[in-house]
Chains A and B, each alone.
Chain A
């Protein structure tokens, strides 16, 4: 019996001990051997909250903040805590109906779940914010207001230059892999916001928070022992003159075109206007998306920074450069003169101009004589020290590229286009080797034809001439607070003077350009008390297809004062129809005066500025685009409504008419207000939809004989 008892007792003890051993083994396995669970615990229970540093500010040359930070508020909703909340307050203040409210709550639940706050209405305007803040006690805890830093444009100007912020998308994240960006972060999309993103963004901080089973952060992990602080972004200092910038934007109101002003000594941009502009402040608030879409669809392309992203034939402003090359190459001297019978006749077809007569160089520039420059270029190309046209054209092209044309200058804002300086290679491709001669491209001599340049390049070319042979790559930002750790500004330190041109040559060109103001094509635009060297240009251009002539672009490029130049500037007014002297020259003249004298006091000049402001120079053909765009939208809408069965198609007519069944009575009125059906889209559509290529696309122009140009 004792044996029996002791055996059973031992068995029971063995079962007890064995079970506990298994438990101990499994505990050791879970807690010591496996690291999986601590990782899972961290993933679910620890929340890494990213602390965004404030973005760097941007200053102008007078140390005014021109790009600032401010705080807007998001109204967020936590769907799980909506019970018993007075939603009427929200409906009233945001002016939405119950259905919309429900839809937004459902969207929030889908996005972030019931327990996480989701944005109900982002970036509230001041009025809604104030009213919501007042009644916050009625809508908490289901709703809350959360601060969000956004950009502020204190002067509401220089939009394309400064750029804007947007949410990082997957493309951006791919490009900036490993730099700590996350989907939806606000990053620079355009302008210096984009180029100086690294400096402006600062360093993010991380806060570790404990998180509960509903994903809500509850408290800092170990009182923030592991947290890292955010370091705010670096400030940028620029040479922008905000007064001048605003003045320029006023002058360019209701015009398509651009003004670029550069300090020739430093290459710093003083002002950069692209018309039509847009309101950068509206790209920060709650209406951002809507406004952005309307800008995208606008046929005037306000989002295109024309200063760098549009290229034009440079027109007569180009003549100065050909004069430089001719003088430097020794094919002419300042005293060489050509007889111009009212046109250049060297190649059979006339290339007309206004003032017939015999011109030497200075006078030829002053009066913008086409015949003279036709001859100069002919001498450059047919220079018999070079074996053939190929090599002489290439020499010419090398000069031009040295002057900063035909390639991207490398300014610190995105979207720059290279323009075009044709060389032998180009014509060999276009026409075949040996099948071309000077006569094939003689209009290049006066800045028409294949040659193409952006306003920035023209302004830079003025800086080059003003400096007598060098330029510094144009740039917006002069310095970064705390130093340039990223090498972003290295390329803005060196002088470019790849082709040597003698000082005396420049003096001759300066004389000619001064003459433009004193007695030539720009004489109406003198700046009292300042010696300005300028050059007008009137650029012929064609609708895509190269047949339909469009109103001329008015050009004017200048630098001032002649001795010790402070500003190199150019202005283009697209399709304004008149000569360069009519619109572009007075704009430049006023800008120069304002910059050099700080203000314009003369009453006649002020009246001129006011007159210019009021000029509405958007050409008629753009309205055709307007209507076409409208009717495309309209057709899309109609197709959608038809497919959904909201409306039905009545009868075949030219256009598609929509009949709203409920408002049948108004049918006739609506029909009357609809635009006429557009002509079938031809090659025009490429210009309308694609990126901006201005109508003087050289390939299309090729077939057209170089047209007569004036002045």
Chain B
């Protein structure tokens, strides 16, 4: 036995395991504080599995058992089955359309009896593995645009399915794989162009369309004047400037309005708008009426007939802000106890921490995440095999995206996108995904001397 243990634990990075356990423990405390009320019978509620914290505890036990299984699995198993798993993941996603159970308006859950599985969530692991497998192939030359396109397609296919399942938030997570691709040599210009488009879209939302058109034209004219000598020598620059001017105005004038008014759901647009402090009502009067009716049903219309400002974000900020420097103390948060924050045990779990433990608590959690990310990036950089490195960056990128978007949404820096806080939010799928993610990474890292393909 002793020898076996030694073999299993050889090369394992215990720092990550400890950070993992710390975050899960914080998560349990947070879920407990959201749900527990004085007078509840603690023993009964844990054994009865009726409460979220008791269920989360059960999921944790299950995840730890699974984690140990992963640790004793041969690393080659992951490289060998990566493509198979990816296909399995896609099949699961497709199956969801048939077997899907409607939870909160999105058919993205498959009921398994003891828990509900969200394939879009778990599929991240398969994408990470498949991407690692593809990029570590000897035949793959990532400098070719064909390879880049395949890699992007691998990463974004589940995202498309997710959007079709009405889980925009989870779909956005897949864009985190661009960080991995960037690390593996995706040209920075892609990211720069992507960022420029993002800025342009934001500007179209914020700035009056005519003013923005004038600004864009002014920029184009200015660059023409500045580059007039070079243009004389090379007509291509002129074409690029005029072309990008046309595209910019096109996006600003037509693409963004089309995207917001036709392509996206009003509530999604509203979330994005509310992030920029703007009130949103669809311009089309039929849609606007339907939108207001829906709002009224949800009781989010104030007495004057107008929309109430985003309730979730307001309550979330109140909960976190009222925590102060030191917090109100464990189980003493008035906002938490009054159930003011919707979805507090899942997407808004950070508010429970913020209220009870104040700035020192939230800062501690943020720093634990940062340390975890840095450890993973360091780990990635010491890998010999590309497979392990790509996989490690995938883990870092996904965790980073989840943490940043989730926390930013609770403190009013990002629109409300329903993605959980890794390892802390309540939820079996999410906990399982991140456990498997991290334990596979630890397993691969233990075999970092071996070149895996």
* Chain A residues close to B by CB (< 8 Å): 4-5, 8-9, 11-13, 15-17, 19-20, 22-24, 26-28, 30-32, 34, 36-38, 40-42, 44-46, 210-213, 218-219, 221-222
Contacts and interface: CB of A to CB of B under 8 A. Distances in A.
A19 B404 contact: yes
B321 A19 contact: no
B38 A16 contact: no
A26 B408 CA distance: 9
B450 to A, nearest CB: 20
Nearest to B340: A213
Interface string B318-340: 11111111000000101101111
B337 A27 contact: no
- Of A11, A30, A36, the most chain B CB neighbours within 10 A belong to A30
B324 A17 contact: no
A9 B377 contact: yes
Contact of A37 (B185, B320, B367, B373): B320
Nearest to A114: B299
Contacts of B400: 16, 19
Interface of B: 37-38, 179, 182-183, 185, 317-325, 332, 334-335, 337-340, 354-355, 358-359, 362-363, 366-367, 369-370, 373-374, 377, 380-381, 393, 396, 400, 404, 407-408, 411-413
A12 B377 contact: yes
Given A8-B182, A9-B183, A22-B413, A27 B363 contact: yes
16 contacts: A12-B183, A12-B377, A20-B366, A26-B412, A27-B362, A27-B366, A31-B325, A37-B320, A38-B324, A41-B335, A42-B322, A42-B334, A45-B337, A210-B334, A218-B338, A219-B38
Nearest to B39: A219
B236 to A, nearest CB: 27
Contacts of A26: 408, 411-413
Given A31-B323, A31-B324, A40-B322, A23 B411 contact: yes
A41 B322 contact: yes
Nearest to B342: A213
Nearest to B180: A12
Contacts of B323: 31
Contacts of A11: 182
B325 A44 contact: no
B359 A27 contact: yes
B338 A31 contact: no
A36 B318 CA distance: 8
B411 A20 contact: no
Given A13-B377, A16-B400, A20-B366, A30 B317 contact: yes
Contact of A45 (B185, B334, B393): B334
A221 B334 contact: yes
A72 to B, nearest CB: 32
A16 B377 contact: yes
A44 B318 contact: yes
Interface of A is mostly: helix
B366 A38 contact: no
B342 to A, nearest CB: 8
Contacts of B393: 12
Contacts of B37: 219
B324 A32 contact: yes
B337 A210 contact: yes
Contacts of B370: 16-17, 20
A379 B317 CA distance: 89
A211 B338 contact: yes
Contacts of A8: 182-183, 185
B321 A30 contact: yes
A31 B366 contact: no
A523 to B, nearest CB: 76
Contacts of B363: 24, 27-28
A20 B393 CA distance: 17
A31 B182 contact: no
A222 to B, nearest CB: 7
Contacts of B179: 12, 15
Given A9-B377, A22-B413, A30 B338 contact: no
Given A26-B411, A46-B334, A36 B321 contact: yes
Contacts of A31: 320-321, 323-325, 354, 358-359, 362
Nearest to A19: B404
A4 B340 CA distance: 49
Nearest to A26: B411
B58 to A, nearest CB: 28
Given A20-B366, A26-B413, A34 B321 contact: yes
Given A13-B377, A23-B411, A46-B334, 4 more contacts: A31-B362, A37-B322, A210-B337, A219-B38
A26 to B, nearest CB: 5
Contacts of A38: 321-322, 324
Nearest to A30: B321
A37 B314 CA distance: 9
B320 to A, nearest CB: 6
A36 B413 CA distance: 18
A44 B338 contact: yes
B183 A23 contact: no
B428 to A, nearest CB: 26
- Of A9, A17, A42, the most chain B CB neighbours within 10 A belong to A9
A19 to B, nearest CB: 5
A28 B411 CA distance: 11
A114 to B, nearest CB: 9
Contacts of A16: 370, 373-374, 377, 396, 400
10 smallest CB-CB distances across A and B, nearest first, come from: A37-B321, A41-B322, A45-B334, A38-B322, A31-B359, A212-B338, A30-B321, A45-B338, A20-B370, A213-B340
B339 A27 contact: no
B383 to A, nearest CB: 11
A32 B404 CA distance: 20
Nearest to B381: A9
A20 B377 CA distance: 15
Contact of A30 (B374, B377, B411): B411
A213 B319 CA distance: 13
A303 B366 CA distance: 71
Nearest to B191: A11
A36 B412 CA distance: 15
A27 B367 CA distance: 12
A17 B412 CA distance: 19
Contacts of A42: 322, 334
Contacts of A23: 366, 404, 407-408, 411, 413
Contacts of A17: 370
Contacts of A27: 320, 354, 359, 362-363, 366, 411
B169 to A, nearest CB: 18
Contacts of B318: 37, 40-41, 44
Contacts of B369: 20
A15 B401 CA distance: 11
Contacts of A46: 334
Contacts of B38: 219
B408 A213 contact: no
A607 to B, nearest CB: 69
Contacts of B362: 27, 31
Contact of A24 (B182, B366, B377, B381): B366
A295 to B, nearest CB: 38
Contact of A32 (B325, B334, B408): B325
A37 B410 CA distance: 14
- Of B321, B370, B393, the most chain A CB neighbours within 10 A belong to B321
A390 B183 CA distance: 113
Contacts of A41: 318-319, 321-322, 334-335, 355
Nearest to B393: A12
Nearest to A4: B185
Nearest to A223: B38
A30 B316 CA distance: 11
Nearest to B329: A222
A210 B358 contact: no
A20 B337 CA distance: 29
A26 B374 CA distance: 21
